[in-house]
Amino acid sequence: MNKIINQPEQMIEQMLEGYIATCPDLLEALPRSKGILTKRKKDKVSIVTGGGSGNEPWIIGYVGEGLADGAALGNVYIAPPARAILNVTKAVSHEKGVIYICTNHAGDVLNFELVGELAEMDGIRTRCVFVADDITSAPRERQSERRGVAGIAMVMKVAGAACDAGLELDDAVRVIQKANRNTFTFSVTTSPGYLPSGKAMCELPDGFIEYGMGFNGEPGVLRTELKPADEIADTMLKYLLDDSGISGGDEIAVMVNGFGFTSLLELSIVTRRVAESLREKGIVLHDIFIGTLFQPQGTGGFSISILKLDEELKPYYDAPAYSPFFKKYR
Amino acid sequence: MENTMNTRQLRDMFLSVARRVVESEDFLTDIDLKIGDGDHGFGMALGFKAVKTALEGKEFPTVEALFQEVGMTLLDTMGGASGVLFGTMFISGVARQEPHERADLALLAGIFRRALEALKKRGKARVGDKTMVDAFEPAAAGLEEGAAQGVSLKEGLALCAAGAKKGMEYTRECVARFGRAKSYGTKAIGLQDAGATSVWIIFQAMSDWASENI
């Protein structure tokens, strides 16, 4: 696949420069750290996120109003170095503590845990939440071992609102962990994604789809021939409801997240079936939306994320969120 | 036959390690592409190119300062899981240790043993999980064995490299419990772990340098 870049070493810095040029009043770069910060500092518990680049808008788009206060970016699909995360931590307001939110992948976990220790040495209180929503990556009884994928968008939205509401560090962590445990994601890949070099990340012949593939092409749980949209949506919902135990009377928010290569026309058809099927089952659809909030480069397919709501989570979920790449109002 | 190294010799040995790792980029990428992300070779080369720049022409007062420079450089430049883990391999063994101007086998064995224990704690991996620990554990044991038997530095480092090689080969038999390789389950049997391969390359380069220069 053809890729439009300059020098590979300059990719991340140049992406940041271009992105920030679109919203200089809201965001700024943290030079030499591949960091990004909101300019609107608030006296509250801060959220710092981070991870490998390449799944935009994930990470850069997650810093903004009602979202994270800062983020450290790694190279494409590689966790950011601890020093970059530490520099971002020191650059956001950290007097009331900092919560790290990242996806549950070995590189991210190691770096965020390490930087948590380093920040504590500088007198900054920190906590980590590792989002683990991908139901195909470990069984429910080992939920905390799951990979983090697109569901982090919903967790981040709740987290941003909870911290903006003025919750103290430990209370905010409790709410965010609840959102994390209540978030379930299942994905289907219809065509492989591409590395910045243009090389495909995995092999997936035309006419086949793979359920549960990782966003960097890790093998999934089921490969079948391509089926109609309704059948694919039904299969995904069955997995999601079986795993989460969500049933009639439960109240949920749903995100259908496209992987970049799949069109809004297709995503809308899927969303139609998801909404129809959930209503048939008597599940209360508090909100359903189509997002492109986690896109492995050039990948075909989409994921469905479900957040099970309760009276505590709902107002946080409903709070507005804004960044140029992540807008959500109800 | 010399049994100690000064910091200049140790620096030259690490420069030789850095060159070897950078040269191995494609080899590591090929191994990692089979069961990993395919980015291990790139990350290691990136880190050890920076080590080369950090060490070339510099003098280090102590063994500990040199180890720390190597480790911090890897930690800052590599990112990913490997940055933390390979950084730990060089930093954690010298943390809070009295400084030394020369290194012998016993000192190296102690440094790498403490680093190994820190690595196991941080990465939560044990021998048999198909990780760098599988090569690191027998490598550290080789240094300890050499120190206990009172062999030369050259012979001790050869024992260490032989241990690392055996450990790297052992990862072919293991099912991974971490990282992307985990999702391959038993399909990964027969394939060696890229991190363990890097550990072997590092210790083999140390041993080769010692056999040519001491």
Q: Which of residues 25-84 of B touch A (CB under 8 A)?
A: 37, 39, 43, 75-84
The answer to whether the CB atoms of B123 and A137 lie below 8 A apart is no
**Dihedral (Cα; B100, B106, B108, B111), 10-degree rounding:** -80
Which residues, 6+ apart, have CB-to-CB distance to A137 below 8 Å? A145, A146, A147, A212, A214, B183
| Whole-angstrom distance, CA of residue A47 vs CA of residue A288 | 25
pLDDT band at A218 (very low <50, low <70, confident <90, very high): confident
A135 Cα distance to chain centroid: 14
The mean pLDDT value for A41-57 works out to: 96
Which runs of consecutive H residues, i.e. helices, occur in B124-193? 133-149, 153-170
For residue B94, pLDDT over 70 is answered with yes
Nearest to A78 among B43, B178, B184 (CB): B43
Q: What is the pLDDT of residues B36-45, one digit of tens each?
A: 777 899 899 9
- The CA–CA distances, whole Å, from B186 to A304, B175, B190 equal 29, 6, 9
Q: What is the pLDDT of residues A53-99, one digit of tens each?
A: 999 999 999 999 999 999 999 998 889 999 999 999 999 999 999 99
Tokens 């933390």 -> residue: B84
For residue B2, pLDDT over 80 is answered with no
The answer to whether the CB atoms of A79 and B81 lie below 8 A apart is yes
| Whole-angstrom distance, CA of residue A183 vs CA of residue A160 | 16
| Whole-angstrom distance, CA of residue A259 vs CA of residue A298 | 7
Asked if A192 and A202 touch (Cβ cutoff 8 Å), the reply is yes
| Whole-angstrom distance, CA of residue A301 vs CA of residue A250 | 27
| Whole-angstrom distance, CA of residue A309 vs CA of residue A291 | 19
The pLDDT value recorded for residue A207 is 95
The pLDDT value recorded for residue A8 is 85
pLDDT band at A21 (very low <50, low <70, confident <90, very high): very high
* Distance in Å from the first CA to the final CA of chain B: 7
The answer to whether the CB atoms of A110 and B43 lie below 8 A apart is no
Question: For residue B83, which residues of chain A lie inside 8 Å, CB to CB?
Answer: 79, 81-82, 107, 111
The answer to whether the CB atoms of A78 and B80 lie below 8 A apart is yes
Q: Which of residues 146-185 of B touch A (CB under 8 A)?
A: 178-180, 183-184
For residue A11, pLDDT over 80 is answered with yes
Q: What is the pLDDT of residues B180-206, one digit of tens each?
A: 788 778 888 999 999 999 999 999 999
- Which of A110, A194, A197, A201 is best to mutate for the B interface (most B CBs within 10 A)? A110
Question: For residue A74, which residues of chain B lie inside 8 Å, CB to CB?
Answer: 79-80
Question: For residue A82, which residues of chain B lie inside 8 Å, CB to CB?
Answer: 75-76, 83-84
For residue B82, pLDDT over 70 is answered with yes
The answer to whether the CB atoms of A218 and B75 lie below 8 A apart is no
- The CA–CA distances, whole Å, from A66 to A125, A142, A291, B13, B136 equal 21, 30, 17, 52, 45
* Distance in Å from the first CA to the final CA of chain A: 37
The pLDDT value recorded for residue A202 is 84
pLDDT band at A321 (very low <50, low <70, confident <90, very high): very high
Strand partners, B96: none
For residue A265, pLDDT over 70 is answered with yes
Asked if A256 and A267 touch (Cβ cutoff 8 Å), the reply is yes
Return the percentage of chain A with pLDDT > 70, whole number: 100
HSE-up of residue A132 (Cα within 13 Å, Cβ side): 20
The pLDDT value recorded for residue B19 is 98
| Whole-angstrom distance, CA of residue A157 vs CA of residue A68 | 9
The pLDDT value recorded for residue B1 is 55
Burial of A40 (0-12, 13-18, 19+ CB in 10 A): exposed
The pLDDT value recorded for residue A214 is 83
Q: What is the pLDDT of residues A224-234, one digit of tens each?
A: 999 999 999 99
Q: Which helix (H) or strand (E) holds A284?
A: strand A284-291
The pLDDT value recorded for residue B12 is 98
Instruction: Enter the pTM of the model.
Output: 0.87
The mean pLDDT value for A174-191 works out to: 97
Asked if A85 and A100 touch (Cβ cutoff 8 Å), the reply is yes
Which runs of consecutive H residues, i.e. helices, occur in chain A? 11-21, 82-91, 106-121, 152-164, 169-181, 229-244, 264-280, 313-318
For residue B122, pLDDT over 70 is answered with yes
The mean pLDDT value for A224-252 works out to: 97
